[in-house]
Homo-oligomer: A and B are copies of this chain.
Amino acid sequence: MKNSPVLIVGSLAFDDLEMPSGTFEDVVGGAATYSSIAASLLSPVRLVGVVGKDFPESVLSDLRARGCDTAGVEHADGKTFRWRGRYAPDLGSRETLDTQLNVFADFRPKIPASFKSSPFVLLGNIHPALQLEVLAQVEKPKLVFADTMNLWISTEPKLLAELMTKIDLLVINDEEARDLSGIHNILKAAADIRKRGPSRLIIKRGEHGALYFDDAGAFFAPAYPLEEFLDPTGAGDSFAGGLVGYIAKMGDTGHQTMRRAMYFGSALGSFCVEGIGPRRLLEVTRGELDKRMKAFTALVETGGPVVLPE
């Protein structure tokens, strides 16, 4: 069914960003925030997460104006989750300076009744026990996407192994794929991870694009090359949001839809990094997205089959 809703569960946060271009504090962030902003450009979104008393109501009303149902955002006593990080001058790496879990420490996702039959589910990078709790509450989604990170790969291997058997698509980066599989070669790592459960797998490589694997084989989509690259925060979450948003819009999970979705994920990620925090992503219009998709596909267009003459 076209224009299906997407259930997105994950963190809403404040980020303090020490960038080469300056320090930006109290920037609205969190994986679920970025994914929801990106996905809601394409499909209705149902958001589940937790915020503290300090989280501006205007951010949630802006999300609602984008077609994002915030009925699943719990308001808890205390402060919102906060992350402080410093990026390298070339933005190629970052270090965490401070993490304050705050209200996120006791977060237990509660899926509103009206959200339970969502056909598409995106489990942002939270503790795998919480990701499993979400899956216990939803009713036969068509496709479950999940993100994870090195922390859970090393500290929660059993829960993660269980999660693997209950999701359809895992979205991780190449370092995480190597850690999870214990295999350096990316094709071999992908084959190993797919054997653990998810029939579909995306391995993100940042500015170097992303690989997708399913029963039809491997697929590669580049990152869109940019002249302005300001802040990588949230790019991977915007990628996941754009990906699932396109699939929900098309209402189809076929091999070719998935491949095209990789470009939409990549395009949303490219908008994200053009501004500090979600600033740029928030202002992207459908017209701008169409224009970027045109430029993006021109980047890979060969004008015909790439074969040798007889």
CA distance A305 to B263 in the complex (A): 11
Q: Which of A161-212 contact B (CB under 8 A)?
A: 184-188, 205, 208-209, 211
CA distance A306 to B308 in the complex (A): 26
Residues of B within 8 A of A259 (CB): 301-303
Q: Which of B42, B90, B221, B297 contacts A184 (CB 8 A)?
A: B90
CB distance from A254 to the nearest CB of B (A): 9
CA distance A222 to B296 in the complex (A): 14
CB-based contact A263/B229 at 8 Å: no
CB-based contact B225/A303 at 8 Å: no
A300 at the interface (CB under 8 A from B): yes
Closest residue of B by beta carbon distance from A206 = B208
Choose, from A7-15, A48-56, A149-157, A285-293, the stretch at the interface.
A285-293
CB-based contact B302/A256 at 8 Å: yes
Closest residue of B by beta carbon distance from A304 = B256
Residues of B within 8 A of A307 (CB): 290, 293
Question: How many copies of this kind of chain does the complex include?
Answer: 2
Q: Which of B90, B220, B225 contacts A218 (CB 8 A)?
A: B225
With A293-B306, A306-B260, A307-B290 as known contacts, state yes or no: A299 contacts B220, CB within 8 Å.
Answer: yes
Residues of B within 8 A of A2 (CB): 309
Q: Which of A71-92 contact B (CB under 8 A)?
A: 90
CB-based contact A308/B249 at 8 Å: yes
Return 23 A-B CB contacts under 8 Å, by A number.
A2-B309, A90-B184, A185-B227, A185-B229, A187-B226, A187-B227, A208-B208, A219-B300, A220-B225, A220-B300, A221-B300, A246-B308, A249-B308, A256-B302, A256-B303, A256-B304, A259-B302, A260-B302, A260-B304, A263-B302, A293-B307, A293-B308, A297-B305
